[in-house]
Amino acid sequence: MSNTSLPLVPEKSEPLPSLGSKEGLLSWIASVDHKLIGIMYLVTAGIFFVIGGLEAMVIRLQLGVPANNSFITPEIYNQLFTMHGTTMIFLVVVPLMLGFGIYFVPLMIGARDMAFPRLNLLSFWLLAFGGIFLYFSFLAGGAPDAGWFAYTPLSGRPYSLSHGMDYWALGLLAVGVGTLASGINFIVTIITRRAPGMKFTQVPMFVWTTFVNSFLIVLALPALNAALVMLLADRLFYANFFTPDTGGAPILWQHYFWAFGHPEVYIMILPAWGMIAETIPVFSRKPLFGFAIFAASSVAIAVLSFAVYAHHMFADGLGHAFDALFGASSELIAIPTGIKIFNWIATMWGGRIRFTTSMLFAISFLVTFTIGGVSGVTFAVVPTDWQTTDSYYVVAHLHYVLFGGTMFAVFAGTYYWFPKMTGRMLSEKWGKWHFWTTFIGFNLTFFIQHVLGLMGMPRRVFTYPDYPFWGLFNQISTAGALLLGVSVLIFFWNIFISLRKGALAGDNPWDAWTLEWATTSPPPEKNFDQLPEIKSRRPLWDYKHPENPDWKQPQSGKKPKTTSADFSHPAQPETKTEVKNGSKNAVMDRRKLGMLIFIASEAVFFLLLILAFLYFRYQNPTAQFSANNLDTLKTLIFTVCLVASSVTVWLAERSLKQSKAGRVILWLAATVILGLVFLAGQSLEYFNLFDKNIDIRTNTFSSSFFTLTGFHGLHVFSGIVALATLAGLGFIGLFKRAKGLLVLQTVSYYWHFVDAVWLVIFTVVYLIK
């Protein structure tokens, strides 16, 4: 596309396929169109939102009356608050962020789809499978009951005898893998699929926050996965990671879980900030104030989020120096967060504000999220945290951040983008009812819980004494929850009637400025035929106002002139050139980039398993099974074989560059054989230990040894399957040089990583005594 290309929207949008026929249903569940997958994410999250909300209603009804209310039993209560927290965090908020991102990020950067469409579909089905698997626990002996944070040893087999926690861990692993795949997909898409001329400094803020958020996903989720793997090893194979009686360390679970858990807070809020950064400027008729500092503060928050996790552990007695360090970092992260509040306020200042339902939710977001942020700062002060931890003050803070923050932003984004997704407007009349019932119901429910927490009411209790005002305040909270439930019914009713009879939206009902509004509503399958020239963050403004383009204005919040130009009728003749998102090589390189990002995530996973091994090794150096029982010499021989396989795979690459197909197959076969020899050597090591009655149950050293080396062996096996597949394709003549070289290089990256990880494991486990 030349630099003089003009915007061109398709003449006719392609309607969403109907769910009423088999063909229509299959077109959804098997589609790789990012828009349909994004809608499936949003619908699935909406279903779980209703389920989680009903669980919350039952909890509030139980707590509406003090002194041994028998509405539900303590066992059911424990299951419900565990499932409510798990559902809202893992099956509602995160999927909502992913759903909006999957639908709108390609549109906002001028792409036709995500970088990996099939991986995109797999990510959704992993979410759906994980959620169904989790809720199947109700039919399999009882749901998990140890809290959404699953503190050990309470989540271990001795204290949780049903299989509920097994379903919890396996379900979250499935959801986590799908989320991780989405994070990789977002990063590669935003790097490689931006429209020609669109610089990183010109992407919409929602795209930027999604991009930063994806790095959080890639680097934080491995901590949860490592913790879940160890928990499952304890529960299913009687390992000893977290059981104190056998030398396990319950505190290790907290370190790993919160190393994921606090970045997870920002995984749930960063894209929501991006939504607010899109809606407030449009309805204020001003560009976002301080775009650069807003973007930089998002990066700062992502980095600092890994340095604040232990403020969840101030009551664990880890020492004053430890508490002071994480207390200071927790206070520091409030600075870039506060910057965003001022960015939004300054954007509205002097603007021509339109109080649409979307804007009302965005403004109320500023109020409720600020309250949640201020209460969060109190947890950075260690003495205050000691007084309020595990009280209803924490419950209030959490909901002000996640519901008053994320969900208010989601509602703002829904009213803003619903016309683009469906071609119809949501009813503003019903929207106002939805807003006010939500705002009043939410604050009635949760603001009073601050007071309850300061009065000493603990969280996670199914009943409470009839102390002065406790019953009254809980009744107020329950009444607010019921009103909040009504607001959700109004919201879904609005969606239902608007889909049937809503006013036609047109292509750009809000006169917005980003590229998703440059196509029809809803967008066609390929999104765009042509794109406008991109020279600023507001390309549609530039197109409509060539006399006053955004790229000529100082980015200081200057109020631009506005007109009512119709984007559907370009002023100059249209051309038929097709949008190309980079060169062919750039498109193919997305595979190698995706693999490198995946390797980075897996490196974090193995690092955490290695750290657990070292922790248990030096915690009990006189254990019955230690490094002295391992056969270092034999393992060194098999290690040499694995290292040699990195050479043979490199030779396969070189032969493919030289178009020597026979040698490619030969070297790939040699790599597969060397990998199998290594696995055979590890198997011999295992059988030798089994003969000595040493297995994963023996002690903490054996538990960490078998888990660490076993997962490495699984990675070796996966690499062997991939290499053998390539060799087979080459043997039957389907492995072409140009495309095949990129595929082989991608697989070789993974294989070299697996070999490098083993060298670290061999050094740590076998050589360091």
pLDDT digits (tens, 9 = 90+) for 315-334: 888 888 888 888 888 889 88
| Percent residues over pLDDT 70 in the chain | 90
Is pLDDT above 70 for 20?
no
The two three-digit tokens of residue 501, written as one number = 């009879």
Residue scoring higher pLDDT (181 or 555) = 181
**Contact by Cβ (8 Å): 429, 472:** no
Residue 66: asked if its preceding bond is cis (omega within 30°), the reply is: no
pLDDT given for residue 737 in this prediction: 60
Number of CB atoms found within 10 A of residue 549's CB: 18
The residues with which 8 forms a beta bridge, in sequence order, are 530
Three-state DSSP class for residue 144: coil
**The pLDDT of residue 626:** 67
Give the separation between CA 399 and CA 403, rounded to whole angstroms.
5
In this prediction, residues 579-605 reach a mean pLDDT of 74
Per the CB < 8 A criterion, the answer to whether 170 and 231 are in contact is no
> Is residue 120 left, alpha or beta, with left meaning phi > 0 and alpha meaning psi from -120 to 50?
alpha
Q: Tell me, what's the pLDDT at 541?
A: 85
Give residue 591's region: left, alpha or beta (phi > 0; psi -120 to 50).
Answer: alpha
Report whether pLDDT(14) > 70. no
> What letter does residue 424 receive in the DSSP assignment?
B
For residue 29, the model assigns a pLDDT of 83
Q: Report the pLDDT averaged over residues 398-426.
A: 96
Question: C-alpha 570: how far from its chain's center?
Answer: 39
CA 231 to CA 423: how far, in whole Å?
Answer: 47
Q: Long-range contacts for 313-321 (Cβ within 8 Å, ≥24 apart)?
A: 313/251, 313/254, 313/255, 313/258, 314/379, 314/382, 314/385, 314/386, 314/389, 315/385, 315/386, 315/389, 315/390, 316/251, 316/254
Q: Of 31, 194, 229, which Cα lies nearest the Cα of 117? A: 31
pLDDT band (50, 70, 90) for residue 731:
confident
Q: Is the pLDDT of residue 582 over 50?
A: no
Q: List pLDDT tens digits, range 255-276.
A: 999 999 999 999 999 999 999 9
- Concatenating the DSSP letter of every residue in 632-644 gives HHHHHHHHHHHHH
Residue 147 CA to residue 65 CA, distance in Å, equals 23
| pLDDT at residue number 562 | 44
What is the DSSP-derived secondary structure letter of residue 553?
S
Residue carrying the six token digits 């070789």: 748
pLDDT of 588 > 50? The answer is no
Q: What is the pLDDT of residue 569?
A: 33
Identical fold at 34-501 and 590-767? no
Fold of 34-501: Cytochrome C Oxidase; Chain A (1.20.210)
Position 399 confidence tier, pLDDT thresholds 50, 70, 90: very high
The per-residue pLDDT for 707 is 96
Each residue of 21-43: pLDDT tens digit?
456 677 788 889 999 999 999 99
Longest dimension (CA), the chain: 85
| Of residues 520, 541, 521, the one with CA closest to residue 529 | 520
**How many C-beta neighbours within 10 Å does residue 676 have?**
16
738 confidence band (pLDDT: 50, 70, 90):
low
Q: So what's the pLDDT on residue 322?
A: 85
CA distances from 571 to 8, 13, 543, 574 (A): 11, 21, 9, 9
What residue ranges do the domains of the chain occupy? 34-501, 590-767
| pLDDT over 80 at 546, yes or no | no
pLDDT at 625 over 60: yes
Tell me the per-residue pLDDT of 687-728, one tens digit each, with 9 for 90 and over. Answer: 999 988 889 998 888 999 999 999 999 999 999 999 999 988
Instruction: Give, rounded to a whole angstrom, the gap between the first and last alpha carbons of the chain.
Output: 62
pLDDT for the residue numbered 571: 31
Contact between 152 and 231 (Cβ < 8 Å): yes
Phi, psi of 642 (to 5 degrees): -65, -40
Does residue 162 register a pLDDT over 70?
A: yes
Residues 6+ apart with CB under 8 A from 372: 397, 398, 399, 400, 401, 404, 405
What rounded mean pLDDT belongs to the chain? 88
Average pLDDT over residues 144-162: 91
CATH topology of domain 590-767: Four Helix Bundle (Hemerythrin (Met), subunit A) (1.20.120)
Query: Is the pLDDT reported for residue 643 higher than 70?
Result: yes
For 181-238, how does the pLDDT look when each residue is reduced to its tens digit (9 = 90+)?
999 999 999 999 999 889 999 999 999 999 999 999 999 999 999 999 999 999 999 9
**Residue 760 — pLDDT band, cuts 50, 70, 90?**
very high
According to DSSP, residue 458 is labeled B
Q: How many CA within 13 A on the CB side of residue 480?
A: 19
Find all residues with CB under 8 Å of 240, minimum gap 6, and list them. Answer: 234, 246, 247, 248, 697, 699, 700, 702, 703
Q: Tell me the CA distances in angstroms from 136 to 29, 127, 132, 164, 225, one per residue in order.
A: 21, 14, 6, 9, 21
At 600, list the tokens.
């980075």
The residue with greater pLDDT, 617 or 64, is 64
Q: Per-residue pLDDT averaged across 544-571, rounded?
A: 53
Section 547-567 average pLDDT = 53
Alpha helices in 87-116 (DSSP H): 94-108
* Cα torsion angle, 222, 224, 229, 234, sign: positive
Task: Judge contact between 574 and 6, C-beta under 8 A.
Answer: yes
Tokens of 570: 């370009």
User: Rounded to an integer, what distance in angstroms lies between the CA atom of residue 157 and that of residue 152?
Assistant: 10
What percent of the chain clears pLDDT 90, i.e. is strictly above it? 70
Question: CA 283 → CA 236, 329, 354, 361, distances in Å?
Answer: 54, 35, 5, 12
Across the range 615-636, mean pLDDT stands at 79
Local structure of 343: helix, strand or coil: helix
- Are 705 and 655 a contacting pair, CB within 8 Å? no
The C-alpha atoms of residue 412 and residue 439 are separated, in whole angstroms, by 13
Q: Is the pLDDT of residue 19 over 70?
A: no
Q: Which two tokens stand for residue 522?
A: 């809803």
C-alpha dihedral (577, 578, 583, 587), degrees to nearest 10: 180
Q: How many CB atoms lie within 10 A of CB 226?
A: 25
**Band of the pLDDT at 127, cuts 50, 70, 90?**
very high
In this predicted structure, the answer to whether residue 734 has a pLDDT above a threshold of 80 is no
User: Distance between CA 619 and CA 249 in Å, rounded?
Assistant: 10
Q: Is 197 left (phi over 0), alpha (psi -120 to 50) or beta?
A: left
